[in-house]
Amino acid sequence: MIITIDGPAGSGKSTAARKLAARLALPYLDTGAMYRAIAYAALSVHVDFEDQAALLRIAQQVDLQLDCGPTFTRVRVDGQDVSEAIRSMDVSTVTPYVARCQAIRDLLVQRQRQLGQALGSFVTEGRDQGSIVFPKADKRFVLEAGLEARAQRRHQELSADGEDVTLDEVRTNLCARDRVDSKQWEPLLQSKNAHLLDTTHMTIHDVIDHLAAEVSNTPR
Ligand code: DC
């Protein structure tokens, strides 16, 4: 069984995908981690992030290994475990430069399909999983949430990670990202016949219950 969960930053898709995978005892594929890993590799060699050819060379040369467990995708770049390092603000800031390079997207989409084939059954999460990468998945979800709910969730996550940032700053940052992202992600999130879920007023438990109920109603 293949389940795709797509959505913008703060929609709750990462937590939902991890918890749903754990509940169903399926491997979890975090595709954002792949874009982040290339950004991490590019940062370590001080590449110019406007130089798409240089970014592509890094994406082609780097040894990127993913280990998909039910609650976590462990990521190695050239043998080094970068699973935590790729979550830093520095990496988050430059990852969109990697994600907007179409040749890198093509490379990673191919990689995701290979990983998917090896895994067989899995929950995958990203922006394009239901629309581009696995359009024939058994269940395709797109999560969304209003700005205020997304800002509050993101603020809680960052505070829990020890980042000293105010809710206002997070909201402003999300607004700016929404403006940049809307052109790029909205078309990718338009997944025909995907199940759309607005999580604005839902707790994560409600979201998981809803997704799990939808999955159990899906013919296999
Ligand atoms: O979901 P995330 O924050 O880890 O994603 C990191 C970046 O990668 C973000 O800029 C969106 C991009 N991304 C993408 O282009 N395609 C995906 N399938 C997943 C993430």
Predicted confidence (pLDDT) per residue in 104-162, tens digit: 999 999 999 999 999 999 999 999 999 999 999 999 999 999 999 999 988 888 888 88
Residue 196 DSSP SS3: strand
* 177, pLDDT greater than 80: no
59 burial via Cβ count (<10 Å: 0-12, 13-18, 19+)? buried
Q: Would you kindly state where each structural domain of the chain is located, as residue ranges?
A: 2-212
Give the span between the Cα atoms of 73 and 86, in whole angstroms: 12
Structure tokens at 207: 């979201």
Indicate whether residue 70 lines ligand 1 (CB < 6 A).
Answer: no
Residues 35, 170, 142, 74, CA torsion sign: positive
- Count of beta carbons in the 10 Å neighbourhood of residue 156: 12
Cα angle vertex 1, ends 69, 195, to 5°? Answer: 100
Residue ID of nearest Cα to ligand 1 atom 5: 32
Indicate whether residue 95 lines ligand 1 (CB < 6 A).
Answer: yes
Are 137 and 130 spatial neighbours (Cβ–Cβ below 8 Å)? yes
Indicate whether residue 128 lines ligand 1 (CB < 6 A).
Answer: yes
Structure tokens at 9: 């930053």
Would you state the CATH architecture of domain 2-212? 3-Layer(aba) Sandwich (3.40)
